Chains A and B, each alone.
Chain A
């Protein structure tokens, strides 16, 4: 077996540990303290924000326009509508803003 294969296998195990690890730790407790529950409820917004924020700061006008349209559409439309609107604005704006 090549080194590459072992890297992939170890990477896969490490990744699976992150995907199951939080549950294994939390499930050891009988009752979840309300403050922990509040923390868990904050997970989606907290993690997903970190995937957006640095990219927003490093972006230009075309990207900002796309994000603003995405935000506006997301107030009314579904996930698909929001995504397609944002992507369309981005591609259009990049034809002009580069």
Chain B
């Protein structure tokens, strides 16, 4: 056990604080986990393979792309490359979150990076921004329920996929954009927020229409990040030494 867990009550609280924050993520991702399992079996995966893919890759959009290409009998190396392309945005997450968790023991960091999803990164960044420590126990409380539900629900979808009701009427296809919009707005007090959002939005839409998915994510993200790098430091609020 680490120094963080010396006071056990405190650590328990941290864990449950994380679990509380994980609940919207669990709700929002549940339909996609089930849908993934169903589509995976539909595209020629076994139930065990669908389960393994969720457990080992743990990245919804990339898994969807992977099974879609698999169903179209695309060459294996191209499937792996596509998974890499869809997940490429995590490079930016890992560069950003590294500053917050560098004090963890190495094994905890290795585990932390394994569950570094979009909401995991956004919520951990928001906590760091509010001045509270991003501890391993809290981080695990946030990430573990999402992971466990994701893997189990993928398996359930693979087994019971044929019974999925009308997903459009339930709004399932648009739950994630709603959730991600909420996360974007949560960062609105950061310096440069509006210009970064504008640059990323415009660049991703243009890239979506021209280069196509999934590259619009990386292209749009790099546009926003570059803008923040290029603008003079007094706009970005960093580098001001008291």
Contacts and interface: CB of A to CB of B under 8 A. Distances in A.
Q: Is the interface of B mostly helix, strand, loop or mixed?
A: helix
Given A34-B239, A46-B221, A74-B186, A53 B200 contact: yes
Nearest to B124: A44
B35 to A, nearest CB: 16
B132 interface: no
A75 to B, nearest CB: 8
A22 B66 contact: no
A5 to B, nearest CB: 7
Interface string B171-206: 100111111111111110011110011011111110
A55 B229 contact: no
Interface string B200-242: 1111110010000100110111111111111101001111000
B196 A15 contact: no
A87 B171 contact: yes
Given A9-B56, A49-B200, A70-B182, A41 B190 contact: yes
Interface residues of A, number: 69
A53 B205 CA distance: 6
Given A10-B80, A14-B80, A95-B169, A44 B187 contact: yes
Contacts of A24: 94
A43 B180 contact: no
Interface of B: 21, 23-24, 27-28, 44-46, 49, 52-53, 56-59, 62, 66, 70, 76, 79-81, 83-84, 87-99, 102, 110, 113-114, 116, 118, 121-123, 125-126, 168-171, 174-187, 190-193, 196-197, 199-205, 208, 213, 216-217, 219-231, 233, 236-239
A51 B187 contact: no
Given A14-B84, A41-B192, 6 more contacts: A19-B116, A20-B110, A27-B102, A43-B225, A54-B205, A86-B179
Interface in A42-67: 42-57, 59, 63, 66-67
Most buried by A among B53, B170, B176: B53
A12 B238 contact: no
A55 B81 CA distance: 24
A44 B183 contact: yes
A86 to B, nearest CB: 4
Given A67-B178, A79-B24, A87-B178, A12 B70 contact: no
Nearest to A10: B80
A49 to B, nearest CB: 4
A91 B174 CA distance: 10
Nearest to B170: A91
B196 A42 contact: yes
19 contacts: A6-B76, A11-B84, A22-B95, A23-B97, A38-B191, A38-B238, A43-B125, A45-B197, A46-B222, A47-B118, A48-B180, A49-B201, A50-B224, A54-B213, A63-B174, A66-B174, A75-B185, A79-B21, A79-B182
